[in-house]
């Protein structure tokens, strides 16, 4: 499909793709902000949640944080490669990032399986309800991000639409950012 | 621009062209308006003639009554006001008015309509599932909305939440398109203050929507899980809090009314400037006021919760902010009146609708001040006074300004003029009947009539003849008003095929959409325009013509 | 169409991209940031081990903010985007702050001016009481809710937690929370009864299998045993440190962890009271 002229104009001094990603992030800040704000209010108001929260596994959480931080590294290196015009390298680094996403999801599945087996299900109590929903919505964003990344990588391999590497990277860094705050909330400052 | 041959499916159902997508939103919204109007007919007939067999509906049971009022409100806001005002007009006008060939993300645009269509189908489907449609009010407070044992709609409740959540997603996607297009795809020479007000207002509305819907999306997911999975986010028995839901809802709910108000105000601005042949009184003030209103709208939400059990100290804060927000809106009305003052007024059908908007919205706005004062609200909350207030604001927004927009841009959309006589007859009947429906409701509200009650015969102090007569009167006005819409529908569809041909610029307006053929071809502009001036240069002293199109270079004065 | 792709492709030579950001220092720069992020992560994980709440919160969230700014600045390159991008992102954040402070007075606090959220307080009390009971069971039976054995360290932690809960319940004004209504007779029946019998006659359910038999406190012979001086101190020590500590059978376990001084006294007195010849 031919791109309309509208898409390549940049009267605001920024490419339309990047501008739209920043607006997307503005809306995501409010979504996660609402959810995490509600969680924080409950956590502070319900001191008995400390005992429930003590059962989250900090090592799984730390491992996942390492995975996500590293995948952000490969995402920004992909952007760097795309800027150099090296589509093949960018694609490879994006595939590594997707690998990180998959790793994150695998670790999470194992973690959740263990927790569910111990009886910490989503209906066990309100802490666990928030835990699963917050991490779950974040995980949903990981999945969507990985799928978009695959699509962008497929095009980048052929040196097409290289500007999208930065766009998907910025989205991915945001997903990482949310986790950077979820991690202490759910695993450290329990 | 490439003109490719397309079959019917590709051209009308799978199109990425912003004008076609706009039409899809418009027609879906119009259809849903008929549905919403029918629901209103059914429940108002029940109120006027309780327990009787309503023609075209049957007997209304208490549960059905709740479902009718709930879905009337939900459908009118989410499937009529928003798609028509924001999505249809935004889609149609923004690329044309900023001078480019389409939205920046045409495929995302198409996807947003498709998601929207699915949401519309789901809400309609909820009427046909066992237990019927959700009846817990458009606000859907738990525990009524979370517990099938109370709501008696085990399927209707989650379907309702799902439909609303999908509608939110569709509008988030659409919003990104509108904002990015308006910011980035402007014609060369079109500076920020050369953009028509309606475009800015739709963009601001999208930003407001985007900034406020997030917590409610989280809340909708939590509500759905409470309904289906057995979590207890809003269940105080297990450490949840129903007041949290109320806050999540209204943090969005209040900015939402400005999300629909701003496009309506934008439409009125376009119409009154064209039909008074006069510049908008103070473009920058209007724009900054709208931005201030948008920001302030985030600070007033708990005025919907004055009697819900919020901390009274918060109620003090919200009273102050709520009364404050009436100031910028009032100021905007003054600016519009100042725009009209001294103008060469043409009372065409669109102009009549725009003027009616100003008059009716004024009534709605001032009655809001009573409700914003928490002391008075203790009495008025949940009475018909509230209902009359928000219909005096919502009806101008969702109906009056939409008729103004449709009658104004119809020639551009379909290449033909609508019939003026039919338009005026439709206008007068609709507006007179509208007042006939809702003025009595202010009275009934102050006399103590509560909302969401399906039969006032059960309340001796509300069942008096004087009150019941007002209810019957209001209902009769509604019936007449609904019947009168047939005039509009006839005018709309007949003129589409048989109306007088319109040409490019029948109203002699300045903005860029009037420089292209009617209807515009795929790609809009044979040659992409350059912008030389602002959008409201009417009756300029340096010109013989009383209008000055934005794309005309300065040297070409006639 | 591919204008933007080529415009990026052409930047390899001068090291600048369309945002004007200087990438001349290349990928090592990003790797350094990544290592810094990992180091900060390690710090934040280590924080809780100091067991000082303020420090834990500081390291957890303070470091999160630092990590976030690193990602925003160096990975997302927010600093080279047009200024307004930062403004509208900051506005979103500001709305979230507004959201939090507008709602917290109702949801975070459970009481305010003229109102109390009784359901929430009841839930807190219910949860804490249930937890306290669970701790009691774990300490008494030696097995926690997962079926794991409770060793000494764990037991100490559990008791500390229990005391903390008791403190909170007392703070909340829960009636009778602080006074652990310690009834020696009931405790004897449940704790000592299995071996010594509910009446202390050495006829508990487990008695038959034990050699030597558990003591029969109702038998004067026990109290007048010529070989053992069963004075008050002896009884207290036996209960607290077990039979081996007083040169008797190790089958009598040590119950010192379960009773504090006052409770030990009460138990000892109760046992002595079983002596038919007690004054």
- Would residue B558 count as lying in a domain? no
Q: Give per-residue pLDDT as tens, B469-480.
A: 999 999 999 999
Pick among A11, A13, A44, A139 to test the B interface (most B CBs inside 10 A):
A11
Cβ contacts (< 8 Å) between A159 and chain C: which residues? Answer: 5, 9
Per the CB < 8 A criterion, the answer to whether B523 and B19 are in contact is no
> First and final CA of chain A: distance in angstroms?
51
User: Is the CB of B244 less than 8 angstroms away from the CB of A38?
Assistant: yes
B85 exposure class (CB count in 10 Å sphere: 0-12, 13-18, 19+):
buried
User: Is the model's pLDDT at C32 over the cut of 90?
Assistant: yes
- Would residue C73 count as lying in a domain? yes
Closest Cα partner for A156 from A99, A72, A90? A90
pLDDT on residue B111:
95
- Would residue C279 count as lying in a domain? no
Cβ contacts (< 8 Å) between C8 and chain A: which residues? Answer: 82-83, 85, 162-163
CATH superfamily of A15-188: Cytochrome c oxidase, subunit III, four-helix bundle (1.20.120.80)
**Could you say which of A65, A162, A174 has the minimum Cβ distance to residue C5?**
A162
For residues A158 and A189, the model is more confident at: A158
Cβ contacts (< 8 Å) between A10 and chain B: which residues? Answer: 184
- Would residue B524 count as lying in a domain? no
Average pLDDT over residues B12-26: 92
Cβ contacts (< 8 Å) between B212 and chain C: which residues? Answer: 95
Task: Judge if C77 and C156 occupy the same domain.
Answer: no
Closest Cα partner for A4 from A16, A14, A18? A16
Per the CB < 8 A criterion, the answer to whether B278 and B327 are in contact is no
Q: Give per-residue pLDDT as tens, B480-528.
A: 999 999 999 999 999 999 999 999 999 999 999 999 999 999 999 999 9
User: Is the CB of B225 less than 8 angstroms away from the CB of A37?
Assistant: no
B504 exposure class (CB count in 10 Å sphere: 0-12, 13-18, 19+):
middle
User: Is the CB of C123 less than 8 angstroms away from the CB of B241?
Assistant: no
User: Is the model's pLDDT at B281 over the cut of 70?
Assistant: yes
User: Is the model's pLDDT at C143 over the cut of 70?
Assistant: yes
Joined tokens for residue B518: 């009617």
Closest Cα partner for B251 from B181, B304, B202? B304
The residues, ordered by sequence, that sit 6+ positions from B187 with a Cβ below 8 Å of its Cβ are B98, B99, B100, B512, B528, B529, B530, B531, B551
- Would residue C39 count as lying in a domain? yes
The residues, ordered by sequence, that sit 6+ positions from A74 with a Cβ below 8 Å of its Cβ are A93, A94, A96, A97, A100
SS (HEC) of C141-206? HCECCCCCECCHHHHHHHHHHHHHHHHHHHHCCCCCCCCCCCCHHHHHHHHHHHHHCCCCCCCCCC
pLDDT on residue C175:
67
User: Is the CB of A30 less than 8 angstroms away from the CB of B211?
Assistant: yes
Percentage, residues of chain B above pLDDT 70: 98
Per the CB < 8 A criterion, the answer to whether B279 and B273 are in contact is yes
Q: Give per-residue pLDDT as tens, B342-370.
A: 999 999 999 999 999 999 999 999 999 99
Average pLDDT over residues A83-101: 94
pLDDT on residue B5:
65
Can you give the CATH number for the domain in which B255 is found?
Answer: 1.20.210.10
Task: Judge if C116 and C198 occupy the same domain.
Answer: no
CA distance B260 to A73: 42
Work out the pLDDT band at B291, boundaries 50, 70, 90.
Answer: very high
User: Is the model's pLDDT at C169 over the cut of 90?
Assistant: no
Where in the sequence is the domain holding B174, given as residue range(s)? 8-515
The residues, ordered by sequence, that sit 6+ positions from B471 with a Cβ below 8 Å of its Cβ are B47, B48, B440, B444, B456
Can you give the CATH number for the domain in which C229 is found?
Answer: 1.10.760
Pick among C44, C75, C116, C167 to test the A interface (most A CBs inside 10 A):
C75
CA distance B131 to B150: 12
Percentage, residues of chain B above pLDDT 90: 92
Chains that touch B (3 or more CB pairs under 8 A): A, C
Determine contact: C87 vs chain B, CB below 8 A. Answer: no
Task: Give the torsion through C-alpha atoms of C94, C95, C101, C104, to 10 deg.
Answer: -140
Task: Judge if C72 and C92 occupy the same domain.
Answer: yes
User: Is the model's pLDDT at B1 over the cut of 90?
Assistant: no
pTM: 0.86
The rounded mean pLDDT for chain C is 82
- Would residue B171 count as lying in a domain? yes
CA distance B27 to B32: 9
CA angle at residue B441 from B436 to B447, to 5 degrees? 140
Average pLDDT over residues B276-292: 94
User: Is the CB of A16 less than 8 angstroms away from the CB of B528?
Assistant: no
Determine contact: B223 vs chain A, CB below 8 A. Answer: no
Closest Cα partner for C169 from C111, C124, C115? C124
pLDDT on residue C69:
93
CA angle at residue C124 from C122 to C128, to 5 degrees? 120
List phi, psi (to 5°) of B450.
Answer: -80, 160
Determine contact: C99 vs chain B, CB below 8 A. Answer: yes
Taking only residues 95 to 154 of chain B, the set having a beta carbon closer than 8 angstroms to any beta carbon of chain A reads 95, 100-107
Q: Which residue has the tokens 């006005």?
A: B477
Pick among A27, A49, A140 to test the B interface (most B CBs inside 10 A):
A27
Residue B23: count other Cβ atoms within 10 Å of its Cβ: 19
CA distance A182 to C44: 13
Work out the pLDDT band at C179, boundaries 50, 70, 90.
Answer: low
CA distance B309 to B243: 8
Strand partners, B58: B54
Number of CB pairs, chain A paired with chain C, less than 8 A apart: 170
Per the CB < 8 A criterion, the answer to whether B320 and B257 are in contact is no
Kindly report the nearest CA distance between residue C144 and chain B, in angstroms. Answer: 24
Per the CB < 8 A criterion, the answer to whether C269 and C185 are in contact is no
Task: Judge if C32 and C103 occupy the same domain.
Answer: yes
CA distances (Å), origin B145, targets B224, B449, C116: 9, 24, 24
Give, to the nearest 10 degrees, the angle between helix A16-45 and helix B156-184.
Answer: 140
Report the number of distinct structural domains present in chain C.
3
CA distance A129 to B233: 7
Strand duo C115-116 + C111-112: pairing: antiparallel
Please tell me the least confidently modeled range out of A42-56, A157-171, B143-157, C19-33.
C19-33
Per the CB < 8 A criterion, the answer to whether A138 and A36 are in contact is no
Write out the H or E segment, with its range, that includes residue C115: strand C115-116
Radius of gyration of chain C (CA): 33
Q: Give per-residue pLDDT as tens, B228-241.
A: 999 999 998 888 89
Q: Give per-residue pLDDT as tens, C214-271.
A: 989 888 888 888 888 888 889 999 999 998 888 888 889 888 888 888 788 888 888 8
Q: Give per-residue pLDDT as tens, B295-351.
A: 999 999 999 999 998 888 999 999 999 999 999 999 999 999 999 999 999 999 999
Per the CB < 8 A criterion, the answer to whether B122 and B85 are in contact is no
Which value does ipTM take for this structure? 0.92
The rounded mean pLDDT for chain B is 94
**Could you say which of B175, B184, B210 has the minimum Cβ distance to residue A16?**
B184
SS3 assignment, position C20: coil
Where in the sequence is the domain holding C66, given as residue range(s)? 3-107
Joined tokens for residue B80: 């009529």
Nearest chain B residue to A38, by CA: B244
User: Is the model's pLDDT at C10 over the cut of 80?
Assistant: no
Report the number of distinct structural domains present in chain B.
1
User: Is the model's pLDDT at C20 over the cut of 60?
Assistant: no
CA distance B539 to B510: 11
Strand partners, B450: B383
**Could you say which of B299, B301, B311 has the minimum Cβ distance to residue C112?**
B311
Please tell me the least confidently modeled range out of A69-83, B2-16, C193-207.
B2-16
Joined tokens for residue B228: 């289906």
Cβ contacts (< 8 Å) between B243 and chain C: which residues? Answer: 106-107
List phi, psi (to 5°) of B178.
Answer: -65, -45
Among C120, C138, C171, which residue terminates a domain? C171
pLDDT on residue B2:
45
DSSP 8-state secondary structure symbol assigned to residue B54: E
CA distance B183 to B195: 10
pLDDT on residue B8:
80
Extract long-range pairs of B537-543: CB within 8 Å, 24+ residues apart. B537/B279, B537/B510, B538/B273, B538/B274, B538/B276, B538/B277, B538/B278, B538/B279, B538/B510, B539/B277, B539/B278, B539/B279, B539/B344
CA distance C105 to B310: 8
User: Is the CB of A9 less than 8 angstroms away from the CB of B184?
Assistant: yes
Strand partners, B59: B53
- Would residue C242 count as lying in a domain? yes
Q: Give per-residue pLDDT as tens, B45-62.
A: 999 999 999 999 999 999
Average pLDDT over residues B99-109: 94
User: Is the model's pLDDT at C96 over the cut of 70?
Assistant: yes
User: Is the CB of A129 less than 8 angstroms away from the CB of B231?
Assistant: yes
CA distance B264 to B399: 9
For residues C202 and B83, the model is more confident at: B83
User: Is the CB of C92 less than 8 angstroms away from the CB of A75?
Assistant: no
Percentage, residues of chain A above pLDDT 90: 79
The rounded mean pLDDT for chain A is 93
List phi, psi (to 5°) of C22.
Answer: -85, 110
User: Is the model's pLDDT at B187 over the cut of 70?
Assistant: yes
Closest Cα partner for C4 from A164, B96, B523, B176? A164
> Left if phi > 0, otherwise alpha if psi is -120 to 50, otherwise beta: which for C173?
left
User: Is the CB of A33 less than 8 angstroms away from the CB of B214?
Assistant: yes
User: Is the model's pLDDT at C14 over the cut of 80?
Assistant: no
Average pLDDT over residues A49-60: 90
Q: Give per-residue pLDDT as tens, C53-85.
A: 888 888 889 999 999 999 999 999 998 899 999
Pick among B98, B107, B214, B226 to test the A interface (most A CBs inside 10 A):
B214
CA distances (Å), origin B382, targets B450, B452, B474, B503: 6, 8, 19, 50
Residue B5: count other Cβ atoms within 10 Å of its Cβ: 6
Q: Could you please report the per-residue DSSP string of chain A?
A: -PPPHHHH--TTSS-HHHHHHHHHHHHHHHHHHHHHHHHHHHHHH-TTHHHHHTTS-HHHHHHHHHHHHHHHHHHHHHHHHHHTT-HHHHHHHHHHHHHHHHHHHHHHHHHHHHHHHTT--TTT-HHHHHHHHHHHHHHHHHHHHHHHHHHHHHHHHTT-STHHHHHHHHHHHHHHHHHHHHHIIIII--
Work out the pLDDT band at B202, boundaries 50, 70, 90.
Answer: very high
User: Is the CB of B185 less than 8 angstroms away from the CB of A9?
Assistant: yes
List phi, psi (to 5°) of B300.
Answer: -120, 0
- Would residue C176 count as lying in a domain? no
Joined tokens for residue C151: 């060793």
């Amino acid at each position: 499909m031919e791109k309309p002229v509208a898409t390549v104009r940049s009267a605001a001094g920024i490419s339309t793709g990047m501008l739209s990603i920043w607006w997307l992030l503005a809306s995501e800040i409010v979504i996660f902000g609402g959810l995490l704000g509600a969680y924080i209010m409950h956590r502070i108001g319900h001191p008995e949640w400390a005992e429930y929260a003590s059962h989250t596994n900090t090592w799984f959480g730390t491992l996942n944080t390492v995975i996500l931080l590293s995948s952000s590294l490969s995402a920004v290196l992909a952007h760097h490669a795309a800027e150099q015009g090296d589509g093949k390298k960018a694609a490879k680094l994006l595939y590594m990032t997707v690998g990180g996403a998959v790793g994150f999801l695998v670790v999470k599945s194992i973690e959740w399986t263990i927790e569910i087996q111990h009886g910490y299900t989503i209906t066990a109590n309100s802490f666990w309800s928030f835990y699963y929903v917050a991490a779950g919505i974040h995980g949903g964003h990981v999945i969507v991000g990985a799928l978009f990344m695959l699509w962008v990588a497929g095009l980048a391999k052929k040196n097409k639409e290289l500007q999208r590497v930065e766009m998907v990277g910025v989205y991915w860094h945001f997903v990482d950012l949310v986790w950077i705050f979820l991690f202490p909330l759910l695993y450290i400052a329990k | 621009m490439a003109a490719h041959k397309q079959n019917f499916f590709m051209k009308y159902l799978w199109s990425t062209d912003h004008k076609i997508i706009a039409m899809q939103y418009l027609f879906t919204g119009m259809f849903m308006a008929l549905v919403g109007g029918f629901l209103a007919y059914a429940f108002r007939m029940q109120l006027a003639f309780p327990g009787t067999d309503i023609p075209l509906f049957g007997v209304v049971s208490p549960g059905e009554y709740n479902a009718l009022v709930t879905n009337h409100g939900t459908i009118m806001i989410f499937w009529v006001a928003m798609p028509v005002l924001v999505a249809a007009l935004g889609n149609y006008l923004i690329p044309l008015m900023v001078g480019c060939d389409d939205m920046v993300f045409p495929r995302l645009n198409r996807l947003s309509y498709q998601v929207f269509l699915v949401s519309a189908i789901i809400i309609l489907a909820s009427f046909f599932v066992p237990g019927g449609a959700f009846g817990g009010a458009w606000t859907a407070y738990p525990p009524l909305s979370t517990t099938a044992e109370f709501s008696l709609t085990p399927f209707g409740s989650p379907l309702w939440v799902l439909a609303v959540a999908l509608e939110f997603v569709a509008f988030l996607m659409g919003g990104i398109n509108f904002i990015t297009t308006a910011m980035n795809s402007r014609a060369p020479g079109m500076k920020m203050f050369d953009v028509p007000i309606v475009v800015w207002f739709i963009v601001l509305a999208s930003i407001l929507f985007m900034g406020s819907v997030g917590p409610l999306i989280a809340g909708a997911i939590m509500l759905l899980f409470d309904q289906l999975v057995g979590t207890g986010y809003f269940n105080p028995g297990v450490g949840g809090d129903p007041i949290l839901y109320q806050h999540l809802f209204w943090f969005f709910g209040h900015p939402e009314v400005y999300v629909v108000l701003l496009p309506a105000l934008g439409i009125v601005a376009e119409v009154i400037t064209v039909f008074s042949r006069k510049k908008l009184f103070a473009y920058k003030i209007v724009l900054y006021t709208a931005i201030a209103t948008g920001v302030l709208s985030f600070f007033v939400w708990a005025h919907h919760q004055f009697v819900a059990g919020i901390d009274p100290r918060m109620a003090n804060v919200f009273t102050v902010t709520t009364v404050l927000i009436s100031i910028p809106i009032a100021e905007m009305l003054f600016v519009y009146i100042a725009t009209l003052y001294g103008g060469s007024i043409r009372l065409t059908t669109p102009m009549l609708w725009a003027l009616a908007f100003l008059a009716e919205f004024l009534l709605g706005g001032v009655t809001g001040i009573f409700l914003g004062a928490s002391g008075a609200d203790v009495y008025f909350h949940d009475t018909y006074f509230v209902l009359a207030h928000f219909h005096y604001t919502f009806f101008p927004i969702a109906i009056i300004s939409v008729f103004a927009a449709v009658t104004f841009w119809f020639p551009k959309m379909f290449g033909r003029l609508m019939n003026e006589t039919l338009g005026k007859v439709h206008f007068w009947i609709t507006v007179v009947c509208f007042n006939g429906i809702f003025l009595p409701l202010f009275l009934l509200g102050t006399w103590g009539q509560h909302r969401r009650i399906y039969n006032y015969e059960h309340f001796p102090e509300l069942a008096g003849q004087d009150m019941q007569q007002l209810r019957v009167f209001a209902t009769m006005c509604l019936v007449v008003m609904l019947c009168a819409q047939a005039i509009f529908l006839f005018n709309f569809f007949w003129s589409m095929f048989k109306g007088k041909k319109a040409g490019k610029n029948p109203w002699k307006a300045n903005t860029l959409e009037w420089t292209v053929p009617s209807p515009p071809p795929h790609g809009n502009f044979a040659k992409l325009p350059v912008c030389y001036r602002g959008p409201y240069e009417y009756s300029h002293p340096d010109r013989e013509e009383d209008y000055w199109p934005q794309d005309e270079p300065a040297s070409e004065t006639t | 169409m591919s204008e933007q792709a080529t415009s990026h492709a052409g930047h390899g030579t001068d090291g600048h991209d369309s945002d004007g950001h200087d990438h001349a220092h290349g990928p090592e720069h990003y790797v350094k940031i990544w290592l810094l992020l990992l180091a900060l992560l390690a710090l934040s994980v280590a924080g809780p081990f100091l067991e000082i709440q303020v420090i834990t919160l500081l390291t957890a969230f303070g470091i999160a903010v630092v990590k976030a700014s690193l990602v925003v600045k160096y990975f997302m390159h927010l600093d080279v985007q047009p200024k307004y991008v930062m403004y509208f992102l900051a506005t979103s954040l500001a709305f979230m702050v507004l959201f939090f402070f507008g709602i917290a007075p109702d949801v975070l606090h459970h009481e305010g001016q003229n109102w109390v959220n009784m359901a929430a307080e009841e839930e807190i009390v219910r949860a804490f009481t249930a937890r306290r009971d669970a701790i009691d069971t774990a300490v008494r039976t030696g097995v926690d809710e997962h079926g794991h054995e409770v060793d000494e360290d764990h037991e100490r932690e559990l008791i500390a937690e229990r005391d903390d809960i008791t403190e909170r319940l007392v703070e909340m004004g829960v009636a009778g929370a602080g006074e652990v209504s310690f009834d020696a007779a009931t405790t004897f029946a449940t704790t000592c009864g299995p071996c010594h019998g509910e009446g202390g006659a050495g006829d508990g359910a487990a008695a038959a299998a034990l050699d030597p038999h558990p003591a029969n406190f109702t038998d004067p012979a026990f109290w007048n045993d010529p070989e053992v001086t069963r004075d008050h101190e002896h009884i207290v020590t036996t209960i607290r440190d077990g039979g081996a500590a007083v040169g008797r059978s190790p089958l009598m376990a040590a119950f010192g962890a379960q009773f504090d001084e006052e409770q030990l006294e009460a138990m000892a007195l109760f046992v002595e009271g079983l002596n038919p010849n007690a004054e």
